A and B are shown apart, each in its own frame.
Chain A
Amino acid sequence: MDILNLTAVSLGEKIKAKEVSVKEATKACLGQIEKQDKTLNSFITVEPEKALEQAEKVQQKIDAGELTGPLAGVPVAVKDNMLVKGGLTTCASHILDHFHPAFSSTAVEKLQAAGAVILGKTNMDEFAMGSTTETSYFGPTRNPWNTEHVPGGSSGGSCAAVASGEAIYALGSDTGGSIRQPSSFCGVTGIKPTYGTVSRYGLVAYGSSLDQIGPIAKDVRDCATVLETIAGYDPKDSTSVKRDDYGFTKALTGSAKGLRIGIPEEYFGEGLDPEVKKSILDAAEALKAQGAEVSYFHLPLVEYAIPAYYIIACAEASSNLERFDGVKYGYRTKEYEGLHNMYKKTRSEGFGAEVKRRIILGSFVLSSGYYDAYYLKALRVKALIKKAFDEAFEKYDVILAPASPTTAPKLGESLSDPIQMYLGDIYTISVNLCGLPGITVPCGMDSKGLPIGVQFIGNVFREDHILQAGYAYEQTRTMEICPLCR
């Protein structure tokens, strides 16, 4: 039995059955990190001793019957924009490269309460701004299926870690596709829940109205199980929502019968790689065979989602990142003359190019004379896009879509043309603008041997529909195993 190939739920069962100890599981992942991470660079921080110490404590609690949940003892990796007390949280930025938070994020606390063993903090695009994990101050992460290629982003480290068996599952965050797109590139499953489902307390903000934490794992059951653990109303997050039901695993019926699935024609036109297209449409066929009602429809305004998104996300980011100023924490420039020079040098040296690019755009669109023309306009367009989705969900339970127009590009191919990179977010971004849940499930490989993922999008608070669709689809195929795990 190879621990690294187990899902979180099956490893949890084996730990409960005493077939595997928590320490063995932890050591297996640490061993894989040791072996692979010099190449992959999935992690910014790994703390083996702390992980093994945790493993021991969790084992005691399991043995004492105090921890009985499905994730007890299962090793996890956490994206480095979520605070974990007792170590570093860097957001993959020079400006925070020595930052020790005084508290843990709510999602991490919930995982720890469920007996998770935290292996370390994963690499990402700096402040989650990027689609390739190349904007990290700590260097890019590589795709475990082919290390010439990027893992996607911004949760590229978390997705690469799960794909390569460096972690059994991981937490990511998704502001414009940052869980779903790298999940697709790395052949893993990742879900972005409805906005407000998982507390944002302790998540370093990029675009506050768009950010959500979500699980990245090997399959749909793992995602549903992890989501059940980390979701919940949090009085510390004013935007967190009190939901009636957090029983996500109940949706895993294994059947797609009666599910109304809509395919937006606009998502399958120009720009979509033919291999990706075929793979996605095959997934639709498979679900049809499972009893789902599948049909095409027109989803208007698709091409306006990206400009609206970048205005809103960059405006919020420009404000959220103002706190990094060299006064209270983080990097401060060595030499400066007076207060404003200190601010400018600290921030110019502390932030990377992509972060600065977005701060500049965000500051500009909010500045005097432009607010109405850009920011307010984007908020109006967002209202129209939301309306379009509301109408679609009157007819459909699930919208089926690609997660990205292509499979993972090679390292260095994307950053030279930012707009081209932003266009890659076309299938994922509306979900964030409208607060919808979306899940990516592996659906095949291209001719280069790179994974393809299919995305299921649900109406707000209808994770059950996309989990049902994803799980039913998953039952129709066998999971590819990443070469590094074989």
Chain B
Amino acid sequence: MANVISDETMEYVGILAKLELTGEEKENARKDLEKMLDYVDKLNELDVSGVEPMSHIFPVNNVFREDEVTNGDGSKDTMANAPAQKDNQFIVPKTIG
């Protein structure tokens, strides 16, 4: 049972993952994805009906913090690695046309 990934699907995953693959890279990514999916399809051999999905291994619950202000002015650290900034804000391409 081989998985076939269409151009549209590759395009779509590119939108989700914000990756732009071109030419050979895209073809390789498609083949890799198909192979990986073929491989992980092995899980279909198992009957897992009635098994609860396990997202957390330990029954550690209710980890909270108290509602107390512990942080001061963090702007210097926040902006320290900014690729582009103005007036202590990050510059990004215009978001609304």
Give residues in A with beta carbon < 8 Å to B.
Answer: 98-100, 102-103, 195-196, 209, 235, 238-239, 241, 301, 303-304, 307-308, 310-311, 318, 322, 325-332, 336-345, 347-348, 351, 353, 356-357, 359-365, 367, 374, 376-384, 386, 418-419, 422, 434-435, 460
Contact = CB atoms under 8 A, between A and B. Distances in A.
A378 B44 CA distance: 10
* Size bin of chain B's contact surface: 35 or more
Nearest to A461: B58
B40 interface: yes
Nearest to B35: A419
B51 interface: yes
Q: Which of B12, B32, B82 has the most CB of A within 10 A?
A: B32
B72 interface: no
Contacts of B43: 304, 307-308, 311, 377-378, 381
Contacts of A329: 80-83
Contact of B53 (A327, A351, A376): A376
Contacts of B60: 196, 239, 241
B27 interface: no
A210 B46 CA distance: 23
A312 B17 CA distance: 16
B21 interface: yes
Given A307-B40, A328-B82, A348 B52 contact: no
Contacts, number: 160
Contacts of A386: 54, 57
A145 B85 CA distance: 48
Interface in B48-96: 48, 51-58, 60, 63, 65, 77-78, 80-84, 90, 92-95
A434 B36 contact: no
Contacts of B28: 353
A238 B52 contact: no
A435 B13 CA distance: 30
A365 B40 CA distance: 10
A99 B83 CA distance: 10
Contacts of A301: 46
Contact of B93 (A238, A338, A364, A434): A338
A209 B57 contact: yes
B15 to A, nearest CB: 8
A314 to B, nearest CB: 8
Contacts of B80: 100, 102, 329
Nearest to A338: B93
Contact of B84 (A100, A195, A308, A332): A332
Q: Which 9 A-B pairs have the closest CB atoms?
A: A329-B81, A379-B53, A102-B77, A344-B20, A332-B83, A383-B54, A380-B48, A435-B57, A307-B40
6 contacts: A239-B63, A304-B42, A310-B39, A327-B90, A380-B53, A434-B57
A356 B54 contact: no
Contacts of A435: 57-58
- Label chain A's interface by main secondary structure: helix
Given A100-B81, A239-B60, A380-B53, 5 more contacts: A336-B93, A356-B19, A361-B33, A367-B13, A460-B58
A363 B33 CA distance: 11
B94 A339 contact: yes
Given A209-B56, A239-B60, A363 B29 contact: no
Contact of B51 (A99, A332, A364, A384): A384
B14 A344 contact: yes
B2 interface: no
A337 B93 CA distance: 8
Nearest to A361: B36
Contacts of A325: 18
Contacts of B36: 310, 357, 361, 418-419
Given A239-B60, A361-B33, A326 B83 contact: yes
A327 B83 contact: yes
A383 B57 CA distance: 9
Nearest to A85: B77
Contacts of A356: 19, 21, 29
Contacts of A331: 83
A310 B40 contact: yes
A4 B36 CA distance: 43
A360 B83 contact: no
A419 B32 CA distance: 9
Given A329-B82, A377-B43, A363 B16 contact: yes
Contacts of A99: 81
